[in-house]
Structure 1
């Protein structure tokens, strides 16, 4: 039997709602890199002065490193759901999954090298391939293995960072990279921007960094796949006590760890504690709150625009980069390096509001986002057909 795309009536509202919420958080964080050389500076001094410092602190505590883990877990959850569907229909899972991930890899490469260097889709595709080799492992073992893969290397890295900051507590500022970015993105030719984008991608995806990213993202996918096998989101009402626990203890612990650079010292070690250990805990708390909120039909209806954005998450993610780079790069308005954190955040909220409106209009006629349709066509090898749920 051949697997088919998920029908509209099979979609799970809470998952789409989580994706939509994660897309907003991802944009708020990515906006710092869209409009400034964020990756090469000490953000705690670079974004100084009121209200920049306050806005950055809010993003740093409540948003930074808390939404890509949520989105990664949901990506793994999606793969886990597809695996379960294949089992139920006695259909081959691996060929379809490999095609979907291969297409995603190509989309990620186009995104990274022609639009914005901060792409995450390449990492998702690579870690997705790794997850396929483990998808048959029982959920409890998958969860335990994920914990080991995540905590052991990151704990060792944290110990090394505490040693390093004892020698030199200052952040490294790449002045050459900052100057190069400020010269290329707002005023450079497309060729110069491409060259800078490639340099930035290679800088952030050297062997060590990419290995750290794999060891970070892969466990999230494994957690998502394990949760999908248990159908934790579909059975939120049955596991209500678990979700309430996740909405309290991890949320509180995550917030405490996210505050460490502000309570102690803003150095590499405490920022690592904040992002690597605090971020995922906060993400678990956010996910739990959304899962519980989705059980209330009235609140769920109010948040419907977010869930519609989540239904076209690939389209939303890519168009965020297209819109933002058009605003800040020379082939658009050329505002790179010229806006404050507050202004950038307002722009991000404006972009997301426009995307919510676009999603509302799009789903009046179609049941999938435009890039999702392309992804489906290339993955399932089917022709575009109007859904029976679509309006004429």
Structure 2
């Protein structure tokens, strides 16, 4: 490939997007690679309720069960992490480009993030409630605010890339590590017999709650009494659990009805309602996961390690071997714990499993990043993987195209495949769509400078009509 690095001396001083000659092609390759994993994970949630994310599909068997294990072990959460890192890296490049042009970077990047937020909001309401773009936009505003503070002379210690790396890694790892330590500490405070008794009690509550849901006659309990027997306490806990299960089942049925059988307007109204209810949890995810990943990507780009990635091939090889060598066993261990009979009712076991699983996502994602950078630092592998660059250059268009195509295949206002396609066939559909995009992308970029949505994003960001078609070379 002709352009592997960004030459800061070559950055144009004229307003407008980063030119082809100024693009860091390795980022486009990484984006193209990330798109594959994102679709292989996301397609399941066009066929199942998004509210069940993180839960196993117990109906899968044979090849479909194997496909589910494959996605959860190798893909789920790992490519989302990689894509977030890449956003932070791209932020750093565009910010440097904006400063070099002499424009007010805060104003134009605020417009860029605002447009991204609107894209995400439209995507969330009219196509798919699993949208990540609006969260990226909000996390981007936090990162933009941090850079603005740097320029005003604040947070100078954090201005250094190595300090940003340290803070980002602690920010990412601390919640999972603290949860894991708390769960382990709790387990040491609880005797084996007591823990066994607690689990048996939870089993009894769950069984009684399911009986109540199926129409069993409630046992009379004087709820005003201060001295209740153990059976009476169990009955009260079972009633609460039954109400919780009924509410969950009702919400699940509403989602299935709206998406699997509803009209476009009904599905859109449901997605808007769901997004509003989930907004507080989105903010938590932005603060605990997305922003520190942006900061980590910003720091990696600022350190020069990505721009000059070929100089660090040994580092990338070590990161690849360490990340995959540690991340895969962690992920497998966590998934095995999640399959344990006690997992649903044992809060200590659940805390351990989820902590290990989230940590494995970061570690394995680092292994994937290191592996791809290590391969691309070798000319023969760079040539082999260069086909991903065209996909990566059109990442926004491809990401939203995934949702458009899959919503028309699965939802009730389309072909109505919702809930009818097993996991193995889902992966085949995703692979077919990705191969089409892999083939179409270089053809499209032969005639156009950007993907259609990338072009629209730039026009709205710069408040000017950007060139779209490529000029045909003159014939001698």
TM-score relative to the length of structure 2: 0.76
Show the counterpart of 2:435.
353
Moved more, 328-337 or 288-297: 288-297
Q: How far 1:43 moved relative to its partner?
A: 3.6
Contact 1:40 1:175 in 2 (8 A): no
Tell me: CA distance 1:390–1:141, structure 2 relative to 1, closer, same or farther (3 Å).
farther
Q: How far 1:313 moved relative to its partner?
A: 0.5
Whether 2:363 is the aligned partner of 1:281: answer yes
Alignment partners' CA distance in 1, 2:472 and 2:58: 49
Whether 2:221 is the aligned partner of 1:148: answer no
Show the counterpart of 2:396.
314
Moved more, 266-275 or 312-321: 266-275
Show the counterpart of 2:73.
61
Q: How far 1:104 moved relative to its partner?
A: 0.4
Whether 2:389 is the aligned partner of 1:367: answer no
Moved more, 116-125 or 242-251: 242-251
Alignment partners' CA distance in 2, 1:223 and 1:309: 24
Show the counterpart of 2:113.
101
Gap regions ≥5 residues in structure 1: none
TM-score relative to the length of structure 1: 0.91
Whether 2:378 is the aligned partner of 1:296: answer yes
Whether 2:298 is the aligned partner of 1:225: answer yes
Q: How far 1:210 moved relative to its partner?
A: 2.7
Whether 2:320 is the aligned partner of 1:247: answer yes
Moved more, 328-337 or 208-217: 208-217
Contact 1:131 1:221 in 2 (8 A): yes
Q: How far 1:48 moved relative to its partner?
A: 3.1
Which of 92, 97, 100 is the aligned partner of 2:104?
92
Q: How far 1:161 moved relative to its partner?
A: 6.8
Alignment partners' CA distance in 2, 1:228 and 1:389: 32
Q: How does 1:8-47 map to 2 (within 5 A)?
A: 8-37=20-49, 39-40=51-52, 43-47=55-59
Alignment partners' CA distance in 1, 2:473 and 2:137: 34
Contact 2:46 2:407 in 1 (8 A): yes
SS of corresponding position for 2:18? coil
Show the counterpart of 1:181.
255
Bigger Rg, which one: 2
CA deviations on 1:91-145 (whole Å, 9 max, x unpaired) are 4322221111111011111111111100000110000000112234221222222
Gap regions ≥5 residues in structure 2: 1-12, 151-158, 188-194, 207-243, 344-349
Q: How does 1:163-178 map to 2 (within 5 A)?
A: 174-178=248-252
Alignment partners' CA distance in 1, 2:351 and 2:15: 46
Alignment partners' CA distance in 2, 1:110 and 1:251: 36
Moved more, 283-292 or 85-94: 85-94
Q: How far 1:360 moved relative to its partner?
A: 2.4
Q: How far 1:344 moved relative to its partner?
A: 1.0
Show the counterpart of 1:122.
134
Alignment partners' CA distance in 1, 2:467 and 2:308: 32
SS of corresponding position for 2:289? helix
Moved more, 181-190 or 267-276: 267-276
Contact 1:366 1:391 in 2 (8 A): no
